Chain A
Amino acid sequence: SAVISQKPSRDICQRGTSLTIQCQVDSQVTMMFWYRQQPGQSLTLIATANQGSEATYESGFVIDKFPISRPNLTFSTLTVSNMSPEDSSIYLCSVDRSNTGELFFGEGSRLTVL
């Protein structure tokens, strides 16, 4: 199984500020996926981060709001920009190491925006 660590595990932020979440994987992976899990809701894919190319965003998510970096095959960051209370959520990083559809997840970053 992959070891995935996310930082921060939780944070409380003020409206209008930005927060960057880091995701470190213990081995090289082609694609990294960023999901959001709002309170009482399912996991929603924000974007797929590919090394060496622009991230692919899902409908309803835009790069200006959720810029993603993927500098190498073991690391990615997701920034939540100009936050509002509606951005309060758990943000999850995940990888599919074997291209089988089995995703390994980080522990998540719980974000509260006041």
Chain B
Amino acid sequence: AQRVTQPEKLLSVFKGAPVELKCNYSYSGSPELFWYVQYSRQRLQLLLRHISRESIKGFTADLNKGETSFHLKKPFAQEEDSAMYYCALRERQGGSEKLVFGKGTKLTVNP
């Protein structure tokens, strides 16, 4: 069975500190991974995807197939980064597809 694990339910850092939100996955095929973010009172939205290899709002995430990880990192956290972050795996099977989400990590960036 495919699975996405986010080991930290809560993560608290100070403004300016580095932050890393962990995500590990289990998937038998070639993985496609995403990070979604939900700010307070806003909809869940895409932050970044591993295929794009882009940096969004200072965040990056590298797919490490050896460690089956897709950790989200930012060198200097900002207060506006406080949000709920979800790692997601795109699963394709027999012509159908879906996104499987981890349980999420609530990030709090303190002033």
On whether the beta carbons of A103 and B46 are closer than 8 Å, the reply is yes
B100's nearest neighbour on chain A, judged by CB, is A45
- The interface residues of chain A lying within 8 Å CB-to-CB of B90 are 101
Q: Are B103 and A105 in contact (CB under 8 A)?
A: no
Are A92 and B34 in touch, CB under 8 angstroms?
no
Q: Is A77 an interface residue when CB atoms closer than 8 A count as contact? A: no
Residues of B within 8 A of A42 (CB): 86, 101-104
Q: Is B12 close to A, CB under 8 A?
A: no
| B100: A residues at CB distance < 8 A | 45
Complex contact A45–B96 (CB within 8 A): no
Residue of B nearest to A58 (CB): B98
Contact residues of A between 23 and 61, Cβ < 8 Å to B = 33, 41-45, 48, 56, 58
Q: Mark A86-108, 1 if CB is under 8 A from B, else 0.
A: 00000010000000111111111
* Cross-chain contact of A43 among B34, B46, B49, B86 (Cβ < 8 A): B86
Report B98 CB to chain A, min CB distance, Å: 5
Within the complex, the shortest CB–CB distance from B22 to chain A, in Å, comes to 15
Q: Please give the residue numbers on chain B whose beta carbons come within 8 Å of chain A beta carbons, in ascending order.
A: 32, 34, 36, 43-46, 49, 86, 88, 90, 96-104
